């Protein structure tokens, strides 16, 4: 059973705030890349008219996902991002620890526990 944690979050960006949103996402992405070695992937995608965003994240384990949530980037930049966007969907994949499940619940997460499959 894999210990890695993956998530997909979809959000709608407030009208007229896309440039601010992009700046904040670039800022948080740089901070996570530099300061959070347990983050396997951290990617943002925009739809064609740049009104919606999908964030895809992957962590080595629950502890690294919690480190992200408690890190400086998430504590200082993420609230600014959520101030100009609204979470529509937040799905978590894997077997998160109880502590991580509780933390993700604050964002309205739906958990999907690993059943079968492989990664090459």
Domains in the chain: boundaries: 5-112
Say if residue 1's pLDDT is above 60: no
Measured distance CA(40)–CA(21) in Å, rounded? 23
Q: Are strands 85-93 and 110-112 parallel, antiparallel or unpaired?
A: parallel
The per-residue pLDDT of the chain, averaged, comes to 95
Q: What is the pLDDT of residues 31-59, one digit of tens each?
A: 999 999 999 999 999 999 999 999 999 99
Domain at 5-112: CATH code: 3.30.70.100
Q: What is the pTM of this model?
A: 0.92
Share of the chain above pLDDT 70, in %: 98
How high is the pLDDT of residue 118? 84
């Amino acid at each position: 059973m894999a210990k890695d944690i993956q998530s997909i979050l979809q959000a709608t960006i407030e009208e007229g705030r896309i440039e601010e949103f992009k700046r904040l996402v670039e800022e948080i992405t740089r901070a996570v890349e530099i300061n959070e070695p347990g983050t396997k992937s951290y990617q943002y995608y925009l739809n064609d008219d740049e009104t919606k965003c999908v964030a895809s994240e992957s962590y080595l384990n629950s502890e690294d996902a919690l480190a992200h949530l408690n890190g400086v980037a998430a504590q200082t930049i993420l609230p600014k991002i959520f101030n100009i966007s609204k979470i529509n969907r937040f799905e978590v994949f894997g077997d998160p620890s109880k502590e991580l499940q509780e933390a993700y619940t604050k964002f309205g997460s739906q958990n999907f526990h690993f059943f079968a499959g492989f990664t090459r």
